[in-house]
């Protein structure tokens, strides 16, 4: 039963209205299916394995989405500059640089300067929670 706006009584759909409504739903489903086909649902198994080796799942879940995306990109690329990560994530280089520096300050990444270039790298055991430096300001009580 459908309800007409402003009316207290429910009225059934007419056959033509029902066909039109179902047709619109079908078109929307077709659009969703075509969008899913354009994007990979799962990343390659070796990429996921590498991410799990470098950053544990709890660490990744504790990061905000924007930092998690950068962290996964740097793990996938290995040693990379902000430009490389920006190409991977589709964001601006300046934004990626800020996110990568934030991850480095948090202890999840290491910065390596080579001349004028700054590379970021995530190294397996050095990224564990136990070995991370305490946040400045004393942390939580």
Tokens 């070995």 -> residue: 131
**What pLDDT sits at residue 119?**
94
Q: What is the pLDDT of residues 103-126, one digit of tens each?
A: 999 888 999 999 999 999 987 544
Number of Cβ within a 10 Å radius of residue 12: 9
Number of Cβ within a 10 Å radius of residue 61: 8
Per-10-residue mean pLDDT of the chain, 141 residues long, equals: 55 79 85 65 52 69 87 88 93 94 90 93 55 47 44
**Helix, strand, coil percent values for the chain (each to nearest 5):** 55, 10, 35
Do residues 109 and 75 lie in contact, with contact meaning Cβ atoms separated by under 8 Å? no
**What pLDDT sits at residue 132?**
44
What CATH code would you report for 45-127? 1.10.10.10
**What pLDDT sits at residue 129?**
38
Number of Cβ within a 10 Å radius of residue 109: 26
Q: For the chain, which residues make up each domain, given as ranges?
A: 13-40, 45-127
């Amino acid at each position: 039963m459908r309800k007409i706006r402003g009316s207290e009584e429910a009225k059934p759909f007419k056959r033509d209205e029902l066909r039109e409504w179902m047709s619109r739903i079908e078109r929307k489903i077709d659009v969703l299916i075509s969008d899913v086909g354009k994007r990979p649902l799962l990343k390659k198994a070796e990429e996921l394995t590498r991410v799990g080796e470098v950053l544990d799942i709890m660490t990744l879940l504790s990061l905000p989405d924007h930092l998690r995306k950068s962290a996964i990109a740097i793990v996938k690329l290995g040693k990379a500059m902000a430009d490389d990560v920006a190409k991977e994530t589709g964001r601006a280089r300046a934004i990626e640089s800020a996110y990568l520096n934030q991850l480095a300050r948090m202890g999840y990444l290491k910065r390596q300067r080579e001349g004028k270039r700054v590379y970021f790298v995530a190294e397996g055991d050095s990224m564990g929670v136990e070995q991370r430096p305490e946040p400045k300001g004393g942390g939580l009580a």
